[in-house]
């Protein structure tokens, strides 16, 4: 009787052990084959054109390694925005189908036609309907249909004004920055304030009462002008009959970039007439941009 009881206990422990092993054993992974949309490289393109059925096309061109918007506005482009559009060439998907019936996927009348051009030739991507199950979008390219995340179409369909560079200075201008002439702003008219940066990296202020520190001015320039990004931009058509308080950014090559201070509150609005843009800042950020820490005594 005792021997049978021991056998039963051993069998129970064996069953529990096997059950635990099977429960804890990792489930076998099923690898899903992934298809690359293309083997193209982002550096191989110098033009991006996004065309839509019911609105004007958005066109970007690369100049000296920097993306510019050509249409619908002529302006500096937000570089990450253009890169997000081009990133479709590196997309992967588990679904690749032959392009036999474009109408089946809404590709006979695409909602977006994206053309990438450059040394790699011209490559066209068409965007069709969405799959109701996966909520992914059918994209046609090179005689095939790919099922991709909607992020690729959304990137190209972003409102053009949102893809304009929100930095008040271009990269080349930031490298050339040599000072600020603030004499035509109300708070600095009496001082005729001019703050300049020498070739050796030393700041100079034309007011004998100013006691600036180099670190404070370097931090101010870095925060306000080297890294500054406006909250938003809008198109600006200068009115020659209207005058505003203004200031100029000085460059080492002798050029001056003019800004109009159009508004202080509730937002700080700085307009750049040569680029036809108004930059929107919060009140505190805009105020800091035109008030360097010169420590007047």
Before 72, cis peptide (omega within 30)?
yes
Q: Which CATH number fits domain 35-161: 1.10.760, 3.30.70, 2.60.40, 1.20.1530?
A: 2.60.40
230 φ, ψ to 5°? -70, 155
Separation CA 184–CA 176 (nearest Å): 22
Q: What pTM does this model have?
A: 0.83
Give the model's pLDDT for residue 29: 47
Give the model's pLDDT for residue 11: 56
Give the model's pLDDT for residue 48: 98
Beta-strand ranges (E) seen in the chain are: 35-36, 45-51, 58-63, 66-71, 75-76, 92-93, 96-98, 112-118, 121-130, 137-141, 144-148, 177-181, 194-197, 203-205, 232-235, 246-251, 256-263, 267-272, 277-282
Separation CA 114–CA 38 (nearest Å): 14
pLDDT profile of the chain (297 residues), mean per 10: 50 51 49 86 93 95 95 96 97 94 96 94 97 96 96 96 97 94 95 94 92 94 92 92 94 96 96 97 96 90
List CB contacts of 84: < 8 A, sequence separation 6 or more. Answer: 151, 155
Separation CA 222–CA 177 (nearest Å): 11
Give the model's pLDDT for residue 116: 97
CATH 2.60.40 in the chain is located at: 35-161
Separation CA 82–CA 77 (nearest Å): 8
C-alpha dist (Å) from residue 250 to 8, 55, 143, 253, 258: 92, 39, 53, 9, 9
């Amino acid at each position: 009787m005792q021997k049978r009881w021991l056998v039963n206990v051993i069998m129970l422990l064996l069953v529990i052990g096997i059950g635990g092993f099977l429960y804890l054993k990792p489930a076998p992974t099923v690898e899903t084959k992934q298809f690359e949309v293309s083997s193209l490289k982002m550096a191989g393109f110098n033009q991006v054109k996004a065309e839509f059925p019911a609105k004007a096309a958005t066109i970007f061109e690369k100049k000296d390694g920097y993306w510019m918007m050509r249409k619908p506005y002529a302006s500096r482009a937000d570089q990450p925005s253009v890169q997000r559009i081009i990133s479709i060439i590196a997309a992967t998907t588990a679904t690749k189908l032959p392009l036999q019936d474009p109408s089946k996927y809404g590709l006979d009348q695409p909602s977006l036609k994206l053309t990438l051009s450059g040394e790699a030739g011209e490559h066209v991507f068409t965007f069709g309907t969405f799959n109701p199950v996966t909520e992914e979008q059918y994209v046609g390219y090179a005689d095939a249909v790919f099922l991709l995340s909607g992020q690729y179409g959304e990137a190209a369909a972003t409102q053009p004004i949102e893809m304009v560079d929100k930095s008040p200075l271009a990269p080349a201008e930031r490298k050339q920055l040599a000072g600020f002439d603030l004499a035509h702003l109300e708070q600095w008219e009496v001082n005729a304030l001019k703050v300049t940066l020498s070739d050796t990296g030393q700041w100079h202020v034309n007011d004998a009462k100013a006691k600036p520190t180099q670190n404070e001015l370097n931090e101010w320039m870095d925060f306000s002008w080297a890294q500054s990004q406006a909250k938003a931009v809008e198109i600006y058509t200068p009115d020659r009959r209207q005058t505003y308080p203004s200031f100029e950014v000085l460059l080492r090559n002798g050029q001056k970039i003019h800004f109009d201070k159009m508004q202080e509150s509730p937002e700080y609005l700085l307009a750049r007439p040569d680029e036809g843009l108004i930059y929107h800042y919060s009140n505190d950020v805009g105020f800091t941009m035109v008030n360097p820490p010169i420590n007047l005594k």
